[in-house]
Chain A
Amino acid sequence: MSTQTKKGRALNSSYQAGNILKEYWEDAARHQAEGRPIAWVSGNVPIELFWSMGVFPVYPENYSAIIASIQRAQEFCEEAEQRGFSNDLCSYSRVNLGIILGKGIKDPGLPFGGIPRPDMLITTRIPCLIQVKWWEAVREFFKVPLFVVDATMIDLPVKEHQRQHYLGQIRELIPIMESKLGVRFQEDKFLEALKLSDEAAGLWLDLLDTRAAVPSPVGSREMCGNVFPLVAMLGSSRPIAFFKQLLEEARECVKAGKGAVENEKIRLGWDNIPMWYNLKFFSDVEDQNIIFTYETYLKYVWGGRMDLSDPWTAFANKHLDVWLNYSIDQRVRTLLSDIPKFKLDGFVFHENHSCKRFAMGQKDAAVAIQEKLGVPSLFIHSDMADPRAFSEGQSRVKMEAFIELLQAKKK
């Protein structure tokens, strides 16, 4: 196995990602300094609503991922655990609670000057219930209102009663936000936010689709760094220019037959949240004529197209149609259709200790793709933020053996 010298980004525009992230956290702090409302929110909340109402959506989940990426998650996890939070709780929550209950969200040692204080907490049951319990613990500390958007688990297509249930929750949320945060809902602004969200999502999905090309223009290591605007900024105009540039570059690469890795031989898919403290896991593999070119996390968790001729229906569909809210059957069906499309030779399932809702059904999926497509898979047991869950030696052997298996199969 040759170790080549470290390469830069495959797409030049990817270098902007760090700045966008920095600006977002600076904007959040400025927003608060100007006396405007901040909501702490979580994955799969109705984000377009917040941007349209002038409520800045702050993502502690993202902040926990940043903490993990700068190799500091363990200290905050331990801080939370010492205060009685179980090691089995989602590590995003442990990092966040460790920050809050330790030296506090404004500790000068924290990146971007810390996390702005919440005026309201908004979450949803769509991804999981830990999120709800986490927000309840945060509410104890900050004594601010908490709203939980309920939703049912779905099988596509989304059914009318599922949509109505979801929209009923949104109709309840809006007046509460208005009264608690002193903001006003304006439908035209909301529709404008939906348009921006849809445009950004369209660009992103097209960008992911370019990666079905052989060779693939960009790998997982790089794309995991580019996803942030899709997580936190849908409904604002910021993601659009960025994704447009990425898409243009990726298309040019595809046209020129230029791959992100030299002499691409093996194509892999990845399931579940990446190990933020160890994105090197991707780049180490991507140094060896192998590319990770597909991720459920990047394709089905954030963003989604909306048919704006019927905006409320489209809005509800978009928010319910996310991987974490899929039944096992829906997940399996999705993989069975995407794996051939992306021409994947193998699939790596991250058995994420934290995100059980994501890891649900992985074994069923692995069996299905082996039996129906003859595509082998590998399980890496670890965690997205807590590095204590990762076994370096064992994971390396497994990955190496998996690559050997795929190479032998190709011969």
Chain B
Amino acid sequence: MWWTEDIWLNKKNAGGEERLMFYAGIDAGSNATKTVVFGDEGILASHIIKTGLGGEEQALRCLADTCAKAGISREQVVCVYGTGYGREYLKFPQSHRSELMCHGVGVHWLLPEVRTIIDIGGQDSKGIRLDDRGEVENFNMNDKCAAGTGRFLETMAHALQISLEDIGNYALLASKPVRVSSTCTVFAESEVISHVAKGENREEILLGICQSIVDRVSGIVRSIGVKPPVAMTGGVALNRAVVKLMGDRLGCPILLPPDPQITGALGAALMARRHVTAGQDL
């Protein structure tokens, strides 16, 4: 479990005992909805559910589940900030911020030395550069299609009848990738199916799939100028092969936050806290 990581314990132990006020961040992503409940000194609980068609109701349920995990009541959460694709449709948060800012704030809290973040989610891939205060200095993201995103991996997992979780693990068993050249997700799917039909090695195909994500995303990231240390966030950061190949491509190690998928929600929760403690909309 990620909250046994040192970094988490340090943050948790740093604070006082009294926790009367709680803050929450909700990242209504295109693929997954993530919630973080934050006490005065650290993360109390987080929760991830599929976004689906749930809308506001789904988001509220995710928040309620997180509160339950944290052992607090929803009423004790004094401020909620929203982010993610669905942020504008959520009525209950006090305010909302872009995912770029939220991932920046979240990562900066966990790993303050990080200067470049690569966030790969369900339909977006983003490169975010931070200054030493954790403010977004520059960013870029895909804006035309879902190639090089989690959706691409999901399609491939489906085509190869393998679980998302296994893609990275199997890919790392291969020594060389089979080239997947189509950028279009749909064409890439048929390309992959034809590789399978030709009897190509499965692990090598999987490595090729991960490589193609890295090829796409590294272009976006390089366009903003990569400054190390680099961290990856978003659900695709759970894919070990993508993380490894990205490090090889950029020529630097990739840092991973304890739970890379929730950093956007964490950033939103931190802003909710700032909202209350600084007494203003930040």
Contacts and interface: CB of A to CB of B under 8 A. Distances in A.
- Tell whether A pairs with B: yes
Interface of A: 1, 376, 379-381, 391, 393-398, 400-401, 404-405, 408-409
Given A404-B136, A408-B135, A397 B98 contact: yes
B97 A397 contact: no
B139 A401 contact: yes
B143 interface: yes
B136 A395 contact: no
State the majority secondary structure of interface residues on B. Answer: mixed
A372 to B, nearest CB: 16
A239 B97 CA distance: 44
Contacts of B140: 379
21 contacts: A1-B96, A379-B140, A380-B143, A391-B143, A391-B144, A393-B30, A393-B85, A394-B124, A394-B141, A394-B143, A397-B98, A398-B141, A398-B143, A401-B100, A404-B97, A404-B98, A404-B100, A405-B138, A405-B139, A408-B136, A409-B135
A393 B86 CA distance: 9
Contacts of A391: 143-144
A101 to B, nearest CB: 28
Interface string B121-146: 00010000000000111111111100
A57 B90 CA distance: 51
B204 interface: no
B66 to A, nearest CB: 24
Contacts, number: 49
Given A379-B140, A394-B141, 16 more contacts: A381-B144, A391-B143, A393-B30, A394-B142, A394-B144, A395-B143, A396-B88, A397-B98, A397-B99, A397-B100, A401-B98, A401-B101, A401-B136, A404-B100, A408-B135, A408-B136
Contacts of A380: 143
A325 B47 CA distance: 55
B115 to A, nearest CB: 15
A287 to B, nearest CB: 14
Interface in B69-103: 85, 88, 95-101
A162 B139 CA distance: 41
Nearest to A393: B85
A408 B98 CA distance: 13
A405 B144 contact: no
Interface residues of B, number: 21
Contacts of A398: 139, 141, 143
Interface in B1-57: 30
Contacts of A408: 135-136
Nearest to B85: A393
Nearest to B139: A401
A405 B143 contact: no
A400 B144 CA distance: 17
Contacts of A376: 138
Contacts of A1: 95-96
**Residue of B97, B99, B142, B143 contacting most chain A CB atoms (<10 Å):** B143
Contacts of B135: 405, 408-409
Contacts of B30: 393
B85 A405 contact: no
Contacts of A404: 97-98, 100-101, 136
Contacts of A394: 124, 141-144
A34 B158 CA distance: 67
A401 B98 CA distance: 5
B225 to A, nearest CB: 10
Contacts of A396: 88
A380 B142 CA distance: 10
Nearest to A381: B143
Given A1-B96, A404-B97, A404-B101, A397 B141 contact: yes
Contacts of A400: 97-98
A380 B140 CA distance: 10
B227 to A, nearest CB: 14
A242 to B, nearest CB: 37
A405 B99 contact: no
Interface in B126-184: 135-144
Nearest to B30: A393
Contacts of A395: 143
A409 B137 CA distance: 9
B275 to A, nearest CB: 14
**Residue of B85, B95, B101, B142 contacting most chain A CB atoms (<10 Å):** B101
B28 to A, nearest CB: 12
A396 B124 CA distance: 13
A309 to B, nearest CB: 49
Nearest to B95: A1
A378 to B, nearest CB: 9
The 8 A-B pairs with the shortest beta carbon distances in the complex, nearest first, are A401-B100, A401-B98, A394-B143, A400-B98, A408-B135, A404-B101, A405-B136, A391-B143
B135 to A, nearest CB: 5
B132 to A, nearest CB: 13
